Amino acid sequence: MITLYLITLYKLTKKIKRAFSQIILLTVNVLFLCNLAYAQDASELTVEESNQGKSLHIVLTTNELLGVETAKRYENILNLDEPISWEVYVPENYSAENPPGLLVYISPRNSGELPIEWQELMDNNNLIWVGANESGNKIDTFKRMTYALFATNMIGKQYSVDASRIYLSGFSGGGRVASLLAADYPQIFKGAIYNSGVNRWGNMTDEKLALMQSNRYVFIAGREDFNLNDTKKIYRVYKKEGIKNIDLKIISRMGHEIPSAKNYGEAISFLDGN
């Protein structure tokens, strides 16, 4: 009897945690939509000029990003005064009159840096890159999802962004987290690139599925990648659910790794409908 009670309590706790996390993420969604085109300085900002665009290291606490009152909603899952940092790359021809898209990246490592070989892609495709630090595979999944949503809010306060070109991407375990977040928030993320890691969504509603059916998704895996079969399986799930704007890229002579600039550029072009 006691064992049955404990099992029931455990399942209930998991459901409560999931529901609470959804409320938290929904709050970020609302904040993002309100702040998308509003400019504001970050509390700590390091800028490095490159030959192309601008690389930034931005550090904010939850209190600083959201304000003390709103931040209180997160006190059960985040330390509100603990710094959260992101690596950002702004394309060389940034202009508020021609707002760039936004590519939010979730890495399996604890660095959100833009791979140097992809830097030119951000310039050529007019995309801002943002990736959270300390958001690797050993970090709690809901924290990683929250940091990625916080990134959209933070960038929306710094720059004008084309809301029709807000994309999500991730590699390996980061791709799996990205696939969960993209399915939860298809109204924000209009497309996603899943590189060598993708999961089937959890709770899906008709409304969310309808939005996903109008978005665009790319699945990337190497021919020698141990996640290839998983990637193909979830691609088929998307296809079965009526999501037609999808592309599966299986790259020869590639294992479990990020793709070349050429292949990643083709994925970005697909998201843009080109």
pLDDT digits (tens, 9 = 90+) for 71-128: 999 898 899 999 999 999 999 999 999 999 999 999 999 999 999 999 999 999 999 9
Cα–Cα distance for residue pair 58/266, rounded to 1 Å: 29
Band of pLDDT at residue 13, cut at 50, 70 and 90? very low
State the pTM of this model. Answer: 0.85
pLDDT digits (tens, 9 = 90+) for 187-208: 999 999 999 999 999 889 999 9
C-alpha 79 chain-centroid distance: 21
Band of pLDDT at residue 53, cut at 50, 70 and 90? confident
Average pLDDT, the chain: 87
Domains and CATH numbers, the chain: 2-271 (3.40.50.1820)
Strands (E), 117-262: 127-132, 166-171, 191-195, 216-222, 246-251
Cα–Cα distance for residue pair 239/235, rounded to 1 Å: 6
